[in-house]
């Protein structure tokens, strides 16, 4: 049932993609500009892909962009689906299944996140070393199709050591400061309370956001290699006197997009070698 839906979407997309994409990108709030760098781009609105939900949040365009980036054939999600929008985690992660069916082996997942680590500043970038799932649910709950992946997937190295090192080397070469840390997923849509942020810090979290974890769980289930990059768009609740606002998240992403673009392009260029 699931597999049929995946194949149906993949079939529609294959008609429009001259070659199989090797690298997938999921672009977070304010980070969708990366898709504008893709050459020979084929832009496919989510409405045109059977089985895809339709994205609702501002700052998310809602289309797949296929083409060439730094010598690699890539497919990027410009706009993702969030649990807080009311989609099931199966719906949220459906595009990852479709990417896998198209041939994607390496998935680069990006997001805007609140900084929990006291050393972080808005505008910093963080490569995700690991995550903590506070969603209270999991996209793999329900019957497991062994053709898609194992019932009990290992999450020991959810975020590939190889890709993390590649990201750190690229950042060092480019003179971009890149933290490494643990991403914690909350459902949202309300931001955390200061007490929740203290809890997250005590649990070992460095950044907090409302996405990424479901997609990464499914990507690992499907056997993809994952790299995660967070743009620290704000300090988390209670760390400053200022209330949090989505506009700030998008504005900070806008401000750091030059470094973000340089970093991700350098990583893709390495992967294309």
Site residues, ligand HPA (CB under 6 A): 112-114, 186, 191-192, 208-210, 233-234, 236, 244, 249
The tokens of 78 are what? 């410009």
Query: What is the rounded radius of gyration, in angstroms, for the C-alpha atoms of the chain?
Result: 17
Closer CB to ligand HPA, 165 or 193, in the complex: 193
Closest residue to ligand HPA: CB criterion: 114
Assess whether 234 carries a catalytic annotation: yes
d(C-alpha 169, C-alpha 167), whole Å: 5
129 marked ligand binding residue:
no
Give yes or no for a cis peptide into 169 (omega within 30° of 0).
no
202 marked ligand binding residue:
no
Instruction: Catalytic residue, from 17, 210, 224, 236: name it.
Output: 210
Closer CB to ligand HPA, 32 or 51, in the complex: 32
Assess whether 82 carries a catalytic annotation: yes
Assess whether 29 carries a catalytic annotation: yes
Instruction: Catalytic residue, from 60, 131, 179, 221: name it.
Output: 60
Assess whether 210 carries a catalytic annotation: yes
195 marked ligand binding residue:
no
Tallying the residues shown for the chain, one arrives at 273
d(C-alpha 144, C-alpha 152), whole Å: 9
Q: What angle do CA 52, 22, 98 make, to 5 degrees?
A: 20
Measure Cα distances from 10 to 54, 81, 243, 256 in Å.
Answer: 17, 18, 42, 33
81 marked ligand binding residue:
yes
216 phi, psi to nearest 5 deg = -70, -40
Instruction: Catalytic residue, from 112, 207, 222, 236: name it.
Output: 112
Assess whether 112 carries a catalytic annotation: yes
Residues making up the annotated binding site are 29, 60, 80-82, 112, 192, 211, 234
Residues making up the annotated binding site for a purine D-ribonucleoside are 192, 234
The catalytic residues are: 29, 60, 82, 84-85, 112, 210-211, 234, 246
């Amino acid at each position: 049932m699931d597999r049929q839906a995946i194949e149906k979407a993949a079939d529609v997309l294959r008609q429009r993609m001259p070659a199989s994409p090797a690298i997938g990108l999921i672009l977070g709030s304010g980070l969708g500009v990366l898709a504008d760098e893709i050459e020979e781009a084929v832009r496919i609105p989510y409405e045109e892909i059977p089985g895809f939900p339709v994205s609702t949040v501002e700052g998310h365009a809602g289309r797949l962009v296929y083409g060439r980036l730094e010598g690699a054939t890539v497919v990027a999600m410009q706009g993702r689906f969030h649990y807080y929008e009311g989609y099931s985690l199966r719906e949220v992660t459906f595009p990852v299944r479709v990417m896998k069916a198209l041939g994607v082996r390496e998935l680069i997942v990006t997001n805007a996140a609140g900084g929990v680590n006291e050393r972080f500043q808005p505008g910093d970038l963080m490569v995700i070393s690991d995550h903590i799932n506070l969603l209270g649910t999991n996209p793999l709950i329900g019957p497991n199709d062994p053709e898609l992946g194992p019932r009990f997937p290992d999450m020991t190295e959810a975020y590939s050591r190889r890709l993390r090192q590649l990201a750190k080397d690229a950042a060092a070469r480019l003179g971009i400061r890149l933290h490494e840390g643990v991403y914690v997923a909350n459902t949202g849509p309300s931001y955390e309370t200061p007490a929740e942020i203290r809890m997250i810090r005590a649990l070992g979290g460095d950044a907090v956001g409302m996405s990424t974890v479901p997609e990464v769980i499914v990507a690992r289930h499907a056997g993809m290699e994952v790299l995660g990059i967070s743009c620290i768009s704000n300090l988390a609740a209670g760390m400053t006197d200022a209330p949090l606002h989505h506009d700030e998240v998008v504005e900070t992403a806008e401000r750091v997009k030059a470094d973000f673009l340089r970093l991700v392009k350098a990583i893709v260029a390495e992967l294309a070698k």
